[in-house]
Structure 1
Amino acid sequence: ATTRASGLKLASFVNQERNNLSFRLRPVPARLRISCAAKPETVDKVCEIARKQLALSSDEPVTGASKFSDLGADSLDAVEIVMGIEEEFGVTIKEDNAQNITTVQDAADLIEKLCRAK
């Protein structure tokens, strides 16, 4: 029988020919993903900036998972959104970082990272 407790596999073997019971504990690699998600207020502020720049109606849902391209942003809009973020949060986003931003959450996470580095 194999059971799992506290990240270890516990295996017991019963052998009818022997009078001993053997246990072997082996560490199981943890599949833990550490995520430092941005504060909800940061995500909300990025949503506001995107909504304003893209002239989206209040009916249009904008969340952390929203992709800027799905919201209708072209390359010029993306530059304007980055500029709005820089102004609002007092950060400077390098071009290579800006090119990696595809979602509102990506932008918010980058803002948090840049603010912590200040």
Structure 2
Amino acid sequence: MATISATSATFRSSLKPSTKINEMIGKTSVTVSWAKNGFPCFRVSCAAKPETVQKVCEIVRKQLALPAESEVTPESKFSALGADSLDTVEIVMGLEEEFGISVEEESSENITTVQEAADLIEKLVQKKVEA
């Protein structure tokens, strides 16, 4: 069991080494996992801007021809929305075109949710700006 607040995380020993905890704190994503040696590994990253998430939702909805009333949220999995592997490739292509980025094949294989896509876009746009 874990308790996460805006400033701290408390863990009890009942967690198994493979347990992962994801919690959104403001715009920060905190991921905790356990290494094989039993030590916790923390990854903290900023979540994508709301406007990026919204644009990804629109592109996913359009690409999958979803009705306007269908719910697409940051947590929505492409597969749960009816996307197959070809649909996912086409979604990534649409994102590349919309945001003027290029997504490497190995990165695109790890995108399963709207939030993951938006976070990757933010990262790639930032790299492009810094280059």
Q: TM-score, normalised on structure 2?
A: 0.65
Percentage identity across aligned positions?
68
Which residue number corresponds to residue 122 of structure 2? 112
The answer to whether structure 1 residue 70 and structure 2 residue 80 are counterparts is yes
1:113 CA drift (Å): 0.3
User: Partner of 2:28 in structure 1?
Assistant: none
Once residues 75 and 110 of structure 1 are traced to their aligned partners in structure 2, the CA distance between those partners, rounded to angstroms, is 18
Matching of residues 79-98 of structure 1 within 5 Å: 79-98=89-108
Looking at structure 1, the residues matched to 51 and 92 of structure 2 have their Cα atoms a distance apart, in angstroms, of: 17
1:47 aligns with 2:63: no
Deviation at 1:32, TM superposition (A): 7.0
State how far apart, in whole Å, the 1-side matches of 2:125 and 2:69 are. 31
Give the number of equivalent residue pairs: 90
Unpaired segments of 5 or more residues in structure 1? 1-5, 8-30
| Runs of 4+ residues deviating >4 angstroms | none
In the alignment, residue 69 of structure 2 is paired with which amino acid?
A: D
1:3-22 equivalence runs, <5 A: none
Q: Which has the higher contact order (CA 8 A, sep 6+)?
A: 1
CA distance in 1, matches of 2:81, 2:74: 12
* Cα distance per residue 1:29-80 (max 9 Å; x no partner): xx97522100000000000000000000111100100000000001110011
Shift of 1:99: 0.1
Which structure's CA Rg is the greater one? 1
TM-score with structure 1 setting the length: 0.72
| Residue type at the aligned position of 1:37 | A
* SS state at 1:34 partner: strand
**3-state SS of paired residue (1:117):** helix
